[in-house]
Amino acid sequence: MRVLLTSRLHGEALGRLAGHEVDVYAGPNPMPGAELARRIAGADGLICFPFDRIGRDVIDAGSGLRAISTYSVGYDHIDVSYARGRGIAVGHTPDVLTAATADLALALILDVTRRVSEGDRMVRGGRWTQMIGARDYVGAGLQGRTLGVLGMGRIGRAVASRAAAFGMKVIYHSRRPVDGIPGHCTLGELASRSDIVSVHAPLSPATEGIVGEGFIRMMRRGAYLVNTSRGALVDEEALAAALRDGRLAGAGLDVLRKEPAGAGHLLASLGNVVATPHIGSATEEARLAMAHMAVENVLGGMEGRGAAHPV
Ligand code: DGY
């Protein structure tokens, strides 16, 4: 059988596809749509990435497709119900990236509240010309502050346990309370009671724009927003306005609505924003485990067992 990869993956994992024909796109990401449509024709399995758009047109172009795996936990970029309707197994890579993504959320929380990157830019830029006085360059300590987790799934829970170790109180909003985890609240309460809101909900029609103008207006003065989920959950114009006029103290963003951001992004250019290039799962351990899971998914789907880690 033939497996198409829209980007390179670890050789150790690809070795498990021995006996199959493996077509790896090695150009810059993402693979252009026309090329994807051409190369998917005749493929039995597809391993794609969150930056690919796997809509009906692509799925139809892959008339022989039996399995799709995304190299990510999020699958908002795939028309899953259409693929399923065509009898295609669809898999993803949950769990193995939970710790990595939660670590990055904490890194962004610490960075933006203690102004680490801002200080780094100052020192590197040769602008540290006076010693810092008692009231200068202060940030927010985490101990005793309230972290509001938006989306209490696997990653939300891992962030909550890390935050507890820093002495934070955790509240959360998700569709329903999670058994054994106190602190469930409404979306409005999350906005108005949190010192830091950390976003961990998947992107769906129900969550797109959930951190909108209204939510941001309800946030505490001097609060922070951290997003390691998907950029489309946040109204970036409203966030930029709140950061510019000082209603919010800062934001830590691993994801943006438009990726890659390129030059002059309205949020990335603000001094109280720390931005990283969508690297939540980017640890050696997580990325290798994800590669194995993606391969297991397409093998399972192509061999008629279904995706090993179905969405
Ligand atoms: C995921 O797995 O969904 C992460 O965002 C990496 O893309």
pLDDT digits (tens, 9 = 90+) for 191-201: 999 999 999 99
Note whether residue 212 is domain-resident. yes
- What Å distances lie between residue 282 and 74, 101, 102, 104, 290, CA to CA? 14, 8, 11, 9, 10
User: Given pLDDT bands bounded at 50, 70 and 90, which one contains residue 182?
Assistant: very high
Note whether residue 71 is domain-resident. yes
- Segment 142-162 mean pLDDT: 98
Percentage, residues of the chain above pLDDT 70: 100
CA of 91 from ligand 1 middle (Å) equals 13
Q: What is the pLDDT of residue 291?
A: 98
CA of 280 from ligand 1 middle (Å) equals 7
Whether residue 11 sits in one domain with residue 137? no
Question: Of 13, 14, 53, 16, whose CA–CA distance to 32 is shortest?
Answer: 53
Domain with 295 in it = 2-94+284-302
- Judge whether 226 and 252 are in contact, CB under 8 Å: yes
Residue with CA at minimum distance from ligand 1 atom 7: 72
Tell me whether residue 213 is exposed, middle or buried, using C-beta atoms within 10 angstroms of its C-beta: 0 to 12, 13 to 18, 19 or more. Answer: middle
230 flagged as catalytic? yes
284/261 Cα distance (integer angstroms): 24
- Judge whether 105 and 228 are in contact, CB under 8 Å: yes
Whether residue 231 sits in one domain with residue 144? yes
CA of 54 from ligand 1 middle (Å) equals 15
Whether residue 162 sits in one domain with residue 243? yes
Pocket of ligand 1 (CB under 6 A): 50, 72-74, 97, 280-281
Q: What is the mean pLDDT of the chain?
A: 98
Whether residue 120 sits in one domain with residue 191? yes
Domain count, the chain: 2
Question: Of 281, 286, 291, whose CA–CA distance to 47 is shortest?
Answer: 291
Whether residue 83 sits in one domain with residue 23? yes
Tell me whether residue 185 is exposed, middle or buried, using C-beta atoms within 10 angstroms of its C-beta: 0 to 12, 13 to 18, 19 or more. Answer: middle
Note whether residue 176 is domain-resident. yes
Residue with CA at minimum distance from ligand 1 atom 4: 72
Q: What is the pLDDT of residue 130?
A: 97
Note whether residue 105 is domain-resident. yes
Whether residue 260 sits in one domain with residue 194? yes
Q: What is the pLDDT of residue 197?
A: 99
Tens digits of residue pLDDT in 217-260: 999 999 999 999 999 999 999 999 999 999 999 999 999 999 99
Whether residue 236 sits in one domain with residue 140? yes
145 flagged as catalytic? no
Q: What is the pLDDT of residue 204?
A: 97
- Segment 1-6 mean pLDDT: 98
List, in order, residues 6 or more apart from 234 with CB less than 8 Å away: 199, 209, 211, 225, 227, 257
Question: Of 162, 184, 151, 150, whose CA–CA distance to 109 is shortest?
Answer: 162
Note whether residue 167 is domain-resident. yes
- Judge whether 232 and 209 are in contact, CB under 8 Å: yes
Whether residue 236 sits in one domain with residue 110? yes
CA of 155 from ligand 1 middle (Å) equals 11
Note whether residue 311 is domain-resident. no
Q: Which atom of ligand 1 is nearest to the CA of 73?
A: 2
User: Given pLDDT bands bounded at 50, 70 and 90, which one contains residue 69?
Assistant: very high
User: Given pLDDT bands bounded at 50, 70 and 90, which one contains residue 131?
Assistant: very high
Q: Which atom of ligand 1 is nearest to the CA of 230?
A: 5
Whether residue 114 sits in one domain with residue 68? no
- Segment 265-291 mean pLDDT: 97
- Give, for ligand 1, the residue of 154, 229, 281, 293 to mutate: max count of ligand atoms closer than 8 Å to Cβ: 281
Whether residue 191 sits in one domain with residue 250? yes
Read off the CATH number of the domain in which 77 is found: 3.40.50.720
25/8 Cα distance (integer angstroms): 7
- Segment 151-171 mean pLDDT: 98
Residue with CA at minimum distance from ligand 1 atom 1: 72
Whether residue 268 sits in one domain with residue 154? yes
CA of 72 from ligand 1 middle (Å) equals 4
Tens digits of residue pLDDT in 74-117: 999 999 999 999 999 999 999 999 999 999 999 999 999 999 99
Note whether residue 309 is domain-resident. no
User: Given pLDDT bands bounded at 50, 70 and 90, which one contains residue 125?
Assistant: very high
77 flagged as catalytic? no
Note whether residue 307 is domain-resident. no
Whether residue 195 sits in one domain with residue 72? no
